[in-house]
Amino acid sequence: MGEGCRAGDEDRLARVAWGRLAEPCDLQAGALTQGLGHGDALRWLREGAGPPPVDAPWGQDVWARARARWRPRLAGLDPEREIAGIARVGGSVVVPGDETWPVALDDLEAAAPHCLWVRGDPALLVAGDARRDASGLTGAVAIVGARASTGYGEHVTGELAASLADSGLAVVSGGAFGIDAVAHRTALAVGGPTVAVMAGGLDRFYPAGNADLLARVAREGAVVAELGPGSSPSRSRFLTRNRLIAALAQVCVVVEAGWRSGTLSTAMHAARLLRPVAAVPGPVTSAASAGCHRLIREGVAVCVSDAAQVRELLPGGGETLAAEPDDAAVRRAGDVPAGVSTLDARVWEALPARGGASIDSLVRVAGAAPGAVRAALGSLELAGHVRREGDRYRRTAR
């Protein structure tokens, strides 16, 4: 053990055990298992005395407290039975060394999960990795937001998720009501990949109102959790779950979020992981957009309006900069003709809407020298914007 790279049986079982013993983001558990390997860490917990032989900044008291919180959970451990249990519902446990372990989670360092429980296609987990080449996946984008979403937010989420998933990007979200649900549902609707990250165990889909949707994500995409079956979701587990959403995706997009929304924690995790964060603005009169505006205002998130602007944030996305919105047909009669120089425009504007004008008059009105006015009239005439009649010039009808 110790190197933690080969997914040998002992390592897998010990990782499942540590997923039970320690709460997510238990930094002592992270340091211990990364220092000793999960198997030796388990042996130290069962048999050892004093601080473990790992390089860590904590004294004996911290390790004593850590043991005291882990040991009460040793009694109920049965990793083999649990792995068999998830297999019976078509699921699996993924650990480092497996083909489908997302190396993107290494960015979490000591807060990386010990293992992942998966129902569905575990290959989707690597959508955010460099190793996705053979899978047909093009990357992974987290789309997260308010449970109390508005019709506006749901509409925008649908537009984003449809476009991104349709191009092979995995849509990662939290399976909650509101924005999350629309993101998953839309990705499924366009036949695209989607991953739901749960805060509790996979024996039960939470929230119950999304059970049908999550069952479909489990069949056609993947539902994933770091906590074993039977673990109930809690507020702290929702917050630690958010770091997995952030880590599994290459970009995090927040569509709607209240001023204190838990969604903001996903954005902050993504920012700490150096993943680009995007937020969709909305009406300032909508409380559901206040968190998005906060992220933009505080410089955490970049302001995005459509899927193309999200794609720009993907690795290499700067090569395909989003096009400007099409503004054909916005010009009105009386406007300066398109594509003319500044001076030409000034002379064109100096021409009356009806009737003609002499060069002397144009020189005064445009405030340009006679030679410049003559040159401008020449190029405007050549482009068909101006017509000469004797010694006077007039605009052509358009």
Q: Provide the edge-to-edge strand list for the sheet that holds 116-120.
A: 91-94, 116-120, 222-225, 194-197, 169-173, 139-144, 251-254, 277-279, 302-303
- The phi, psi pair for 254, rounded to 5°, reads -105, 120
- The phi, psi pair for 135, rounded to 5°, reads -85, -10
As measured in angstroms, the least distance from the Cβ of 21 to a copy of itself is 8
Separation of alpha carbons 17 and 304, rounded Å: 42
As measured in angstroms, the least distance from the Cβ of 27 to a copy of itself is 13
| Residue position matching structure tokens 């920012």 | 271
3-state secondary structure of 350: helix
CB closer to a copy of itself, 284 vs 333: 284
The answer for residues whose C-beta is within 8 angstroms of residue 69's C-beta and 6 or more apart is none
Beta-sheet pairing, 302-303 with 194-197: unpaired
As measured in angstroms, the least distance from the Cβ of 185 to a copy of itself is 20
CB closer to a copy of itself, 57 vs 151: 151
- Report which DSSP code applies to 109: G
Alpha carbon 84 to its chain centroid, in Å, reads 33
CB closer to a copy of itself, 6 vs 65: 65
As measured in angstroms, the least distance from the Cβ of 396 to a copy of itself is 18
Maximum C-alpha span of the chain:
108
Q: Are 267 and 294 in contact (CB under 8 A)?
A: no
Angle between helices 179-189 and 211-220 (to 10 degrees): 40
The answer for residues whose C-beta is within 8 angstroms of residue 25's C-beta and 6 or more apart is 111, 240, 243
As measured in angstroms, the least distance from the Cβ of 165 to a copy of itself is 19
Interaction site with a copy of itself (CB under 8 A): 21-23, 26, 65-66, 68-70, 72-73, 76, 152, 155-156, 234-236, 258-260, 280-285, 287, 289-290, 293, 296-297, 302-306, 309, 324-325, 327, 330, 335-336, 342, 345-346, 349-350, 360, 363-364, 366-372
As measured in angstroms, the least distance from the Cβ of 140 to a copy of itself is 22
CB closer to a copy of itself, 1 vs 110: 110
CB closer to a copy of itself, 92 vs 177: 177
CB closer to a copy of itself, 371 vs 390: 371
As measured in angstroms, the least distance from the Cβ of 280 to a copy of itself is 6
CB closer to a copy of itself, 3 vs 327: 327
CA dist list (Å): 58 to 32, 53, 61, 253, 390: 11, 12, 8, 37, 95
As measured in angstroms, the least distance from the Cβ of 162 to a copy of itself is 15
3-state secondary structure of 279: strand
CA dist list (Å): 220 to 123, 214, 258: 12, 10, 31
What the block records as the tokens of 281 is 């603005």
As measured in angstroms, the least distance from the Cβ of 158 to a copy of itself is 12
As measured in angstroms, the least distance from the Cβ of 365 to a copy of itself is 8
Gap between the terminal Cα atoms of the chain: 80
CB closer to a copy of itself, 234 vs 320: 234
Q: Enumerate the H helices of 48-128 as residue ranges.
A: 60-70, 79-88
Q: Which residues pair with 223 in a beta bridge?
A: 119, 196
CB closer to a copy of itself, 21 vs 124: 21
CB closer to a copy of itself, 272 vs 364: 364
